[in-house]
Amino acid sequence: MRLPDGLCYYSDSLAALVESLNQASEYSEYRKVVMPQLNILVGTMYGGALDVAEQVKPLFEAAGYEVNIAEQPTLDDVTSDDGVSLFVISTTGSGDYPGNFVPFVRNLSDQSPALTSLRYGLIALGDSSYADTFCGAGRQLDALLEEHGARRLGERLEIDAMETFMADDAAVPWVETWIDEQLKGA
């Protein structure tokens, strides 16, 4: 049957739309299957840790990772698959977790899921003028993750605001090495 001209136009456009939707969903399936996922979980009061996360994100993408930055981290970010996570977390108060990170820690302590398939890296931002509580949140988080069976890849990076004015000056080279030494082939 021959469709009227106007209908033909709509039918062609519809076919093109369906085709591009198919391609888009094939691409997202492809990315799920082929590209490993990396979650960056951020704990920040003033945005410094988020800035670090945004600066290092392209390094992971260049290494073939699909990167998600979690600004309000939840347990789902670390329990949904056996991916790799990077925590970037500052300290506030007297060794306290930043407000946006408190629900994550509370749920981890309350629900106590096994995190045995979680491998992670940790960048802690702090200020050594706070002496005893230097990088307190990052250190506590590291201990808590280990208690739940997660495995840290490499050493924790601690960035001291007294020594490093721009945190990404320390974070970027650390992440480059972390990718090379810990992620490739991990």
Ligand X SMILES: Cc1cc2nc3c(=O)[nH]c(=O)nc-3n(C[C@H](O)[C@H](O)[C@H](O)COP(=O)(O)O)c2cc1C
Q: Which residues bind ligand X (CB under 6 A)?
A: 44-49, 90-95, 98, 125-127, 130, 133-136, 161
Contact assessment for residue 89 and residue 56, using Cβ atoms and an 8 Å cutoff: no
Comparing CB distances to ligand X, the nearer of 47 and 58 is 47
- As given in the structure block, the two tokens for residue 132 are 């005893």
Comparing CB distances to ligand X, the nearer of 39 and 91 is 91
Q: Is 129 exposed, middle or buried (0-12, 13-18, 19+ CB in 10 A)?
A: exposed
Q: Whose CA is closest to 96, among 131, 154, 135, 148?
A: 135
Comparing CB distances to ligand X, the nearer of 110 and 165 is 165
Bridge partner list, 152: 120
Cα separation, 103 vs 108, whole angstroms:
8
Comparing CB distances to ligand X, the nearer of 84 and 167 is 167
In angstroms, what is the minimal distance from the CB of 46 to ligand X? 3
In angstroms, what is the minimal distance from the CB of 179 to ligand X? 22
In angstroms, what is the minimal distance from the CB of 128 to ligand X? 7
Residue nearest to ligand X (CB): 126
